Amino acid sequence: MRDFIKFQYNEEMKSEKTIALALTGASGMPYSLRLMEKILESGSRLYLIYSAVAQIVIKQEMGLSLPSRASDAEAYFIERFKPGKGKLRVFGREEWFSPVTSGSNPPDAMVVCPCTMGSLAAFAAGMSQNVIERAVDVVLKERKKLIIVPRETPFSTIHLENMLKLSKAGAVILPANPGFYHHPETVADLVDYIVARILDHLDIPQDISPRWGEGEE
């Protein structure tokens, strides 16, 4: 009976995708919230981590006062998105016992959206001075998918070299550069374009933004 329960548990875990999402202090928080919404709608489990500067940026861009305590933020987002039980966890940036800090329990994929150039540099250097940096280090070393959404312009040579280093290590560099072939009419359409590309790379089905060649007469 014990072996059957263990087998059943393992099969359930394998069928349920776990995505880690880190918010750092770059502009682009509308991408993050829309991505959270769509990941949770897909039935995937979401682990959320955010930096102190991300709290400042999300307040400035969206008027959202993100609590400093992870438990308070978790309660807020559960109320906002109403995910299934256990589908959303929020971890503090110094919560070293969170599952994302160990290679024995890595997520299936991780997205850093938006990603500052400072965070990018720390990732490229293999830093692990906070939970976000450690989570990225774990995902890279365990050969899981890492998607980095940098939000900066122009890029300096240092920025580009750091992106190249991470790309060589296996990361997907997905800049927040929306296309216009789908004839966007609102800012939300532009946000959905980028979120759709992230979801594609996470292998999460999406229909929020048309693909090239779709909808043509």
pLDDT at residue number 5: 41
Tell me the percentage of the chain whose pLDDT exceeds 70.
92
User: Going by C-beta distance under 8 Å and a sequence separation of 6 or more, which residues neighbour residue 175?
Assistant: 149, 150, 151
Per DSSP, 210 falls in state P
pLDDT per residue as tens digits for the range 11-36: 444 458 999 999 999 999 999 999 99
Give the span between the Cα atoms of 113 and 30, in whole angstroms.
10
Dist CA 56 CA 151 (whole Å):
16
Strands 145-150, 109-115: pairing kind: parallel
Report the pLDDT value the prediction gives residue 215, as an integer from 0 to 100: 59
Q: What are the pLDDT digits (tens) for 72-126?
A: 999 999 999 999 999 999 999 999 999 999 999 999 999 999 999 999 999 999 9
pLDDT at site 183? 92
Residues 112, 134 contacting (CB under 8 angstroms): no
- Domain ranges for the chain: 17-201
Query: What is the model's pLDDT at position 142?
Result: 98
**β-strand partners of 20:** 47, 110
Q: 33, 62 in Cβ contact below 8 A? A: yes
This prediction's pTM: 0.91
- Give 17-201's CATH code, choosing from 3.40.50.1950, 1.10.357.10, 3.30.1370.100, 1.10.1740.10: 3.40.50.1950
